[in-house]
């Protein structure tokens, strides 16, 4: 547990990644053939990287970059998946 960066537990970054996944799920993509959950993963990773940065400093690739992709992508997928469930159970959305 000590090798996992402390930024993983940042609630603001986590909420932002989930929000990005939710927004990405709502983007109409009839022409691109990208699954909405995959779109949530991609957008959450890219937007979180731009807004908050990743877990380490500098331009070197490290295991923290792998953690970043897995954690932030997972939260983006979670946001897209939650919206998918809400849309299937609701007539309004």
pLDDT tens digit sequence for 19-65: 999 999 998 888 888 888 999 999 999 999 999 988 887 788 888 88
Q: Is the pLDDT of residue 92 over 80?
A: no
Give the pTM: 0.83
DSSP states of 59-72: S---HHHHHHHHHH
- Say if residues 71 and 48 touch (Cβ distance below 8 Å): no
Give which of 21, 10, 7 is closest to 73, Cα–Cα.
Answer: 21
Task: Render the burial of 67-80: b for 16+ CB within 10 Å, e for the rest.
Answer: bbeebbbbbbbbbb
How do the domains of the chain map onto residue ranges? 35-93
Cα atoms found within 13 Å of the Cα of residue 50, Cβ hemisphere only:
6
């Amino acid at each position: 547990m000590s090798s996992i960066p402390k930024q993983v537990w940042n609630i603001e970054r986590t909420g932002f990644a989930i929000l990005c996944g939710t927004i990405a799920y709502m983007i109409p993509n009839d022409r691109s053939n990208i699954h909405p959950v995959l779109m949530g993963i991609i957008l959450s990773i890219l937007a979180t990287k731009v807004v908050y940065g990743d877990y380490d400093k500098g331009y070197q690739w490290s295991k923290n970059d792998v953690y970043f992709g897995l954690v932030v992508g997972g939260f983006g997928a979670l946001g897209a998946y939650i919206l998918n469930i809400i849309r299937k159970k609701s007539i309004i959305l």
